[in-house]
Structure 1
Amino acid sequence: MRFELVPMPDGVGARPRDGRGYPVPAITPWQDGEPQFALTDHGRSADCALERRCSVCGEFLPRGPVWRVVGPAESAAIAAALAEGRPYRNLAPTMEGPGHRACMLYAAMVCPYLARPNARRRAGAADGGDELVAAAVRGAARGGLGAVVGFGDYEYAVTEDRVLFRFLDLVEFLPHESADEHLAELRAELARGSTRTHGR
Structure 2
Amino acid sequence: MRFESVPMPAGVEARPRDIRGYPVPAITPWEGDTPQFALTDYERSAQCAGKRLCSVCNRAMPRGPVWRVVGAAESAAIGEALAAGRPYRNLAPTLEGPGHRACMLYASMVCPYLARPNARRGLSAEQPDELTSHVVRGTRRGAMGAVVGFAEYEYAITGSQVMFRFLDVVEFLPHDTADEHLEELRAELGRTAE
| TM, length-normalised to structure 2 | 0.94
Alpha carbons 2:102, 2:188 under 8 Å: kept = yes
Aligned partner of 1:158 in structure 2 is: 157
Aligned partner of 2:167 in structure 1 is: 168
Q: How far apart are residue 138 of structure 1 and its match? A: 2.2
Higher strand share: 1
Higher mean C-alpha deviation, range 83-92 or range 143-152 = 83-92
Aligned partner of 1:180 in structure 2 is: 179
Aligned-residue sequence identity (percent) comes to 72
Distance 1:135 1:26, change over 3 A: farther
Matches of 1:57 and 1:138, distance apart in 2: 26
Alpha carbons 1:40, 1:135 under 8 Å: kept = no
Q: Letter of the 1:13 partner, please give it.
A: E
How many residue pairs match? The answer is 191
- The secondary structure found in structure 2 opposite 1:18 is coil
- The secondary structure found in structure 2 opposite 1:39 is coil
Q: Letter of the 2:172 partner, please give it.
A: F
RMSD over aligned Cα atoms: 1.8
Q: How far apart are residue 135 of structure 1 and its match? A: 8.5
Distance 1:91 1:134, change over 3 A: closer
- The secondary structure found in structure 1 opposite 2:40 is strand
Which whole-Å deviations, capped at 9, do the CAs of 1:86-115 have from their partners, x for residues lacking one?
111221100000000000000000000000
Alpha carbons 2:46, 2:162 under 8 Å: kept = yes
| TM, length-normalised to structure 1 | 0.91
Matches of 1:103 and 1:135, distance apart in 2: 24
Q: How far apart are residue 128 of structure 1 and its match? A: 6.1
- The secondary structure found in structure 2 opposite 1:23 is coil
Aligned partner of 1:102 in structure 2 is: 102
Asked whether 1:83 is paired with 2:95, we answer no
Runs of at least 5 residues in structure 1 that lack an aligned partner in the other structure: none
Alpha carbons 1:97, 1:165 under 8 Å: kept = yes
Matches of 1:173 and 1:180, distance apart in 2: 16
Q: Letter of the 2:41 partner, please give it.
A: D
Alpha carbons 1:78, 1:88 under 8 Å: kept = yes
Aligned partner of 1:71 in structure 2 is: 71
Which whole-Å deviations, capped at 9, do the CAs of 1:141-192 have from their partners, x for residues lacking one?
1111000000000000001111000000110000000000000000000000
Higher relative contact order (CA 8 A, sep 6+): 1
- The secondary structure found in structure 1 opposite 2:106 is helix
Distance 1:51 1:16, change over 3 A: same
Q: Letter of the 1:18 partner, please give it.
A: D
Matches of 2:78 and 2:54, distance apart in 1: 23
Matches of 1:96 and 1:126, distance apart in 2: 13
Aligned partner of 2:62 in structure 1 is: 62
